Amino acid sequence: MPMDELLTAAKRAGQMTFTYQPVSGEQLTPWVEDLAKLRIKVFREYPYLYDGDLDYEKDYLATYLDSERSLVGLTFSNHKLVGATTCIPLADECDAFKKPFVRAGYDIDTIFYFGESIILPECRGQKTGHRFFEMREAHARKTLPGLRFTTFCAVDRGSDHPLKPHGYKPLDRFWTRMGYRKHKELATRFAWKDIDEDTEDEKTMVFWVKPWPQQ
């Protein structure tokens, strides 16, 4: 039986279990290709619709390899990589993530950026989203003594995209419950090729922010 079917069967039987392996910096090296492939698979779904490129993904993940303050929470089920969550000090990220905060007057040395939380469809609905936020927030508090904000960004597709699935529910309510608020004034743009496009174009990414009391 293919692995995805095994995972689905385990979920239906209430027998799905996960193990989490946190890695930082160069510890990620053995997992770069598998994580790149996982990102391509998950981000192919709406709302990202990303027609992925393996070389680009490896370049993207190099940012986490280069920062000893990063965290990648690798998630396994039946010894298969099925999910991951990432975070890194904003100061260690590329300029496209920093600029909206610099323009708005934030001190980027007090901000931790959360890259993504991804998990295969057959493994969802098992509270991993909560676990991912807990892992990243704990790492941010431990790693950045002057922490003031944690943040992530999400693509803004609007409400009438032709590839939006029927019954699609955005994660806004979940993110709000986790203490994050959408800040439309904090936005950046990234280019990628959608699965229904011939060329890449820029998409707007809007930041969500959670304030933390000074430690």
* First vs last C-alpha separation in the chain: 51
In this predicted structure, what is the pLDDT of residue 10?
A: 42
| pLDDT tens column, 36-77 | 999 999 999 999 999 999 999 999 999 999 999 999 999 999
Q: How large is the C-alpha radius of gyration of the chain? A: 17
HEC string for the chain: CCHHHHHHHHHHCCCCCCEEEEECHHHHHHHHHHHHHHHHHHCCCCCCCECCCHHHHHHHHHHHHHCCCCEEEEEEECCEEEEEEEEEEHHHCCHHHHHHHHHCCCCHHHEEEEEEEEECHHHCCCCHHHHHHHHHHHHHHHHCCCCCEEEEEEECCCCCCCCCCCCCCCCHHHHHHCCCEEEEEEEEEEEECECCCCCCEEEEEEEEEEECCCC
Length of the chain: 215
Q: What is the pLDDT of residue 78?
A: 86
Report the sign of the C-alpha dihedral through residues 170, 97, 61, 79, in that order: negative
Q: Give the count of beta carbons closer than 10 Å to the beta carbon of residue 136.
A: 25
Q: What does the pLDDT read at residue 2?
A: 47
User: What pLDDT, on the 0 to 100 scale, is given for residue 214?
Assistant: 78
pLDDT of the residue at 15: 58
CA angle 158, 160, 164 (to 5 degrees): 95
- Look at residue 29 in the predicted model and tell me its pLDDT: 97
Q: Tell me what pLDDT residue 1 has.
A: 40
- Domains belonging to the chain, first-starting first, are 3-9+16-211 (3.40.630.30)
pLDDT score at 159: 84
Tell me which residue of 200, 173, 175 sits closest to 189, measured CA to CA: 200
Contact 112, 144 (CB under 8 A): yes
Which residues, given as ranges, of the chain have pLDDT below 50? 1-3, 5-13
Q: Do 89 and 24 form a contact (C-beta atoms < 8 A)?
A: no
